[in-house]
Amino acid sequence: MRILRFLTVDPVNLSLKAKAYSTIACFCSIFFVALSTHIVGLGPQYPMIIASLGASAVILFFIPNSPLAQPWPFVGGQISSALIGVSCALNIDEIASASAVAVGGSVLVMVLLRCLHPPGAATSLAPIMAGDSVISLGYQFVLHPVAINVGFMLLLSLLINRLLMKRNYPSPLPADSNAQLPSSTITRPEYKIGISEQDMTLALKEMDVFVDMTPADLAKILTRTEMNTFKRIRGDICTADIMRREVSTVEFGTEVEEAWTMMYQQNLKALPVTDRASHVIGIITWHDFFKFLDLNPYANFQDKFRHFIRRTAKISAHKPEAVGQIMTSSVVVMPDTAHIVELIPLMSLQGHRQIPIVNADNRLVGMVYQADLISALYNVTLATHAS
pLDDT at 192: 42
Confidence at 177, pLDDT banded by 50, 70, 90: very low
Confidence at 102, pLDDT banded by 50, 70, 90: very high
> How much of the chain is in helix, strand and coil states, percent to nearest 5?
55, 10, 35
- Going by DSSP bridges, is the β-strand pair 270-274/250-251 parallel, antiparallel, or unpaired? parallel
Over residues 237-274, the pLDDT tens digits come to: 889 999 999 999 999 999 888 988 898 899 988 999 99
Compute, in degrees rounded to 10, the torsion defined by CA atoms 78, 82, 88, 90. 180
As a whole number of angstroms, the distance between CA 188 and CA 179 comes to 15
Average pLDDT, integer, range 208-226: 73
Burial tier of 189 (Cβ tally within 10 Å: 0-12, 13-18, 19+)? middle
As a whole number of angstroms, the distance between CA 356 and CA 360 comes to 13
Average pLDDT, integer, range 195-219: 73
Confidence at 183, pLDDT banded by 50, 70, 90: very low
Are 242 and 376 spatial neighbours (Cβ–Cβ below 8 Å)?
Answer: yes
Is the pLDDT confidence value at 287 over 60? Answer: yes
pLDDT at 257: 86
Confidence at 352, pLDDT banded by 50, 70, 90: confident
Confidence at 8, pLDDT banded by 50, 70, 90: low
Is the pLDDT confidence value at 279 over 60? Answer: yes
Angle at 331 between CA 326 and CA 334, to 5 degrees: 150
pLDDT at 178: 47
Average pLDDT, integer, range 270-290: 90
Task: Tally helices (H) and strands (E) across the chain.
Answer: 17, 6
Residue percentage of the chain with pLDDT more than 90? 43
pLDDT at 132: 83
Characterize 331-354 residue by residue with b for buried, 16 or more Cβ atoms within 10 angstroms of its Cβ, and e for exposed.
Answer: bebbebebbbbebbbbbbbeebeb
Average pLDDT, integer, range 275-289: 90
Is the pLDDT confidence value at 220 over 60? Answer: yes
Average pLDDT, integer, range 264-289: 90
Is the pLDDT confidence value at 179 over 50? Answer: no
Compute, in degrees rounded to 10, the torsion defined by CA atoms 340, 346, 352, 355. -40
As a whole number of angstroms, the distance between CA 192 and CA 63 comes to 31
Average pLDDT, integer, range 121-138: 89
Confidence at 184, pLDDT banded by 50, 70, 90: very low
Is the pLDDT confidence value at 69 over 90? Answer: yes
In 213-304 the beta strands, taken as DSSP E runs, fall at 250-251, 270-274, 280-285
pLDDT at 347: 87
Is the pLDDT confidence value at 307 over 70? Answer: no
Is the pLDDT confidence value at 65 over 70? Answer: yes
pLDDT at 191: 38
